[in-house]
Amino acid sequence: MRKNILILVIGAAVVVAVDQITKSAVVSRFFLHESYPVISGFFNLVYVLNPGAAFGFLARASETFRLFFFVGITATVILMILFYIVKSQADNTLNVVCMTLIFSGAVGNLVDRVRFGAVVDFLDFYIHTWHWPAFNVADTAITTGAVLMIWGMIVRRARNVQD
């Protein structure tokens, strides 16, 4: 259990710090909606505020509703992850790393919601005129944690089927 808590504390500190430092750099150096091409035709740094969630989910809802909804959901997820990591007796490091990534991303985006009422996004990948929705380090951590968790479940299931 101590190893799990250590992974959570160190991992979360690093991810949240990188997330907030990169967002602060963008906010301090860019005007809102400004774009800087990094790889022409593929990748820009931008400064956008996303009041919703992934793909603009609930972006048009009232600000008060969004604040309570997203803070409530995020707080619930954070508490569930803390409970899992503290109570987990299993020595499954991959699960703890996955949960830490999801936890860290949730915390990073929660900080933005409390500070700005929206999440700062700045990574803009695109091909010609098709743009993937802009995202940030916290979103990357959440996605990576979820994908690794699914991959781990598939591998464990495949191992169990073979046994």
pLDDT at 97: 95
pLDDT above 90 for 156: no
Q: Within the chain, where are the H helices?
A: 2-29, 63-87, 93-116, 137-162
pLDDT at 54: 67
pLDDT at 81: 92
The parent domain of residue 101 ranges over 2-162
Q: Using 50, 70 and 90 to split pLDDT, how confident is the model at 122? A: very high
Neighbours of 6 (CB within 10 A): 11
Total domains in the fold of the chain:
1
Determine phi and psi for 35, rounding to 5 degrees: -130, 140
Is the CB of residue 60 less than 8 Å from the CB of residue 53? no
* Chain segment 9-68, per-residue pLDDT in tens: 999 999 999 999 999 999 999 999 999 999 999 999 999 999 877 666 776 777 788 788
pLDDT at 60: 72
More confident residue, 158 or 24: 24
Candidates 54, 67, 65, 52; CA nearest to 114 is 67
Q: Which amino acids are annotated catalytic?
A: 121, 139
Ramachandran sector of residue 90 (left: φ over 0; alpha: ψ -120 to 50; beta: rest): beta
* Chain segment 60-107, per-residue pLDDT in tens: 777 788 788 888 989 999 999 998 888 876 678 899 999 999 999 999
More confident residue, 156 or 17: 17
Q: How far apart are CA 156 and CA 19, in angstroms?
A: 31
Distance of CA 17 to the CA centre of its chain: 13
